[in-house]
Amino acid sequence: MAEIATSPTYRRAGGIRRLLERYPFLPALAIVLVLLALNGFFSPNSLSYRSLTGLLSTYMALILLAIAQTYVVYAGDIDLSAGSILSLVNVAIVVLMERWGGGAGAVLLALALGLLLGLACGLVNGLVVAALRLQAIVATFATSIFFTGLALYILPVAGTPAPTIFWRTYGGRLLGLPFVFYILAGLVLLLLVLGRTRLTTQLLAVGDDQQAAFQTGLPVVSIRIRGYLLCGLFSALAAFCITGDTASGDPLVGGKMTLFSVAAVVLGGSALSGGWGTVVGSLLGALTIGLISSVVFFMGTPSEWQNFVQGLAILVVLMAGVLAGRRARP
């Protein structure tokens, strides 16, 4: 047994596990790099500065929604209403901007109210799941229908345009750099600040063992509610990005994005059972989904087969990421 424990193969395996324990997003990063290489192989122009900027701009909303999902997954919960919150905030801010004239002041005020609306939706989910102790997957499925209904009431038909100043700013440049880079920088700063707070550690502790967390004196209900508040906040931020990218309001725009956000969280190395994960991995997981879509398109896949091939590719990548992530978990 001593010979096995001190063998180079055993030490190498232990070193890889320690590396994955410290940086659980490494498998997702490796997958992103492989997909970038495949994109470059099938379409060299896809790796140009302009193309990569466009990719980031298009998938920034999914990145934010995946991060939103991560904070509830930390605690062992899930939010199937994240995409519906995005849709609700999207139509709310577009309608408010239009009614208030579409000027800079109207845009800023609408965005502020959009953040409050996202937080309110997160609070509703938190109270229903944590305080009333309903199953998260069932409760948030129900609230997703409720939020979608509100979005359809506010804007029954898609197509209301966002103010020109809003979408031109999102897709434009500031001081020579694409505006989306400033959004990414602000996101990184926000995540660094949140990472230094006790809330992230508390969410992970609750997800690891809720009963043990309660016995140590942690306010489990309050912590889970705050996780849903963060989810609502980031879902609202995702709505701002999808509005800037599409330049319009659509009450059903977030429909597919909820499940994509869950897939991105898993691709990023987080455990849906809670207690293990990283927002960096979720960010990379969202980029993975975007890059898979690009590869499928650049391969020249017929349109009727694109969804099938994309789903199969996501499944394969998901399996690879999960298998790699299992080696990192204690």
What one-character-per-residue DSSP string does 126-138 give?
A: HIIIIIS---HHH
pLDDT of residue 330: 55
Q: What's the CA dihedral at 206, 209, 213, 215 to 10 degrees?
A: 150
Nearest to 198 by CA among 178, 181, 212, 219: 219
Determine how many CB atoms are found less than 10 A away from the CB of residue 302: 8
Q: Which CATH architecture has domain 53-327?
A: Orthogonal Bundle (1.10)
pLDDT of residue 196: 85
- For residue 48, the 8-state DSSP code is S
pLDDT of residue 10: 41
Q: H or E segment at 218?
A: none
pLDDT of residue 197: 87
pLDDT in tens, 133-170: 899 999 999 999 999 999 999 999 888 888 889 889 88
pLDDT of residue 4: 39
Residues of the chain with pLDDT under 50: 1-7, 9-10
Q: What is the pTM of this model?
A: 0.89
